[in-house]
Structure 1
Amino acid sequence: MNATLSKIDAGGRLIIPAQARKALRLESGGPVVLTLVDGELRVRSVASAMAELQVQTSSFLASDGASVSAFLTARRAEAAREEGASADTSDQATSSMTEFDRGA
């Protein structure tokens, strides 16, 4: 690993040397992602963090895609049952009102 000595200024800002900023493709004023890992501060570009998340998501979907698909299918079936049940309740209420109106 390449170690470089740096400073934290009076405002709490960490000075990242130009060579490191260039290697990480960090621009002045640009956003970075800071992560604490085992007592160390990890600094990386947003693009790098997003790329890692995309790989993790793709890996998850590839390995667990069947489970996700099964979950969505079950949830859609449940929603359809709930929709059907609320329609039945509505029909019963309309029928009851009609019988009430006839008796009046």
Structure 2
Amino acid sequence: MTIQVNITPNGRMSLPADIRKRLGLTGGGAVYLDETDDGVVLRTMPQLVAQAQALARQYRDAPGASIDSFLAERAAESGE
């Protein structure tokens, strides 16, 4: 869905009420802005947490990602 949001001369913009309601921002709140190569993405804190958890899962589930594997690699690199 693409909507137009106007920005005032002092930089303020308003999110439409239906979007605020879907995002759980009915009583106000914060959104976080990411500037990407494709444009700007607004996310809520729960969305950011979910994104960080998904990224962490990629590394947690990678082969050799255990603490024991890490320590064994460090020991091998140091010649111990």
Equivalent residue, structure 2, for 1:20: 19
Name the count of aligned residue pairs: 77
Query: Given the superposition, is the C-alpha separation of residues 29 and 22 from structure 1 closer, same or farther in structure 2, using an over 3 Å criterion?
Result: closer
Q: Percent identity?
A: 27
Q: 2:59, 2:65 within 8 Å by CA — same for their partners in 1?
A: no
Higher helix share: 1
For normalisation by structure 1, the TM-score amounts to 0.58
Equivalent residue, structure 1, for 2:58: 59
Q: 2:30, 2:44 within 8 Å by CA — same for their partners in 1?
A: yes
> Runs of 5+ in structure 2 lacking a partner?
none
Equivalent residue, structure 2, for 1:5: 4
Q: 2:6, 2:13 within 8 Å by CA — same for their partners in 1?
A: yes
Q: Post-superposition, which runs of at least 4 consecutive aligned residues in structure 1 deviate over 3 A?
A: 72-76
Q: 2:32, 2:45 within 8 Å by CA — same for their partners in 1?
A: yes
Higher RCO (Cα < 8 Å, 6 or more apart): 2
Counterpart residue type for residue 23 of structure 1: R
Larger Rg: 1
Mapped partners of 1:53, 1:30: distance in 2: 20
Query: Given the superposition, is the C-alpha separation of residues 74 and 36 from structure 1 closer, same or farther in structure 2, using an over 3 Å criterion?
Result: same
Mapped partners of 2:54, 2:38: distance in 1: 25
Mapped partners of 1:4, 1:67: distance in 2: 42
Deviates more, 1:44-53 or 1:26-35: 26-35
